[in-house]
Amino acid sequence: MIQKNTPRAMLLNDEVLNLSMKVIKDMLGLDSAPNAEYSDEMVVYHLLNACTSQTSVNQVSDVCDDSPSEGAIRYRLRKLDLETVQQALNDKLKIKCG
């Protein structure tokens, strides 16, 4: 029997980025209108860039051309309930560790 998804010896950066995008977008519940100035993917990419660079969203906005401003990122995340996100993340971590 042939396996449908064959694991590879190494993941490529694009694969990790795409998976991270999907997971974080779903976890944050982002669902922007098609005419939004910045796509959900751009917002998540901006957040990932700040996290992996160990810097602030504002710093990423200042350094990267064509990136959303800090205000635009804050506006897109304004309805985010941080306690719910934190609880969901903790629940996922308990499943992985338990």
Amino acid, single-letter form, for residue 53? S
Nearest to 70 by CA among 58, 82, 60: 58
Helix axes 13-28, 40-52, angle to 10 degrees: 110
Count the Cβ atoms, other than its own, within 10 Å of residue 25. Answer: 18
Distance (Å) of CA 61 to CA 27, 49, 50, 98: 23, 10, 9, 38
pLDDT in tens, 7-19: 566 667 888 888 8
pLDDT at 29 over 70: yes
58 vs 30, higher pLDDT: 58
pLDDT, residue 59, reads: 92
CA of residue 95 relative to chain centroid, distance: 20
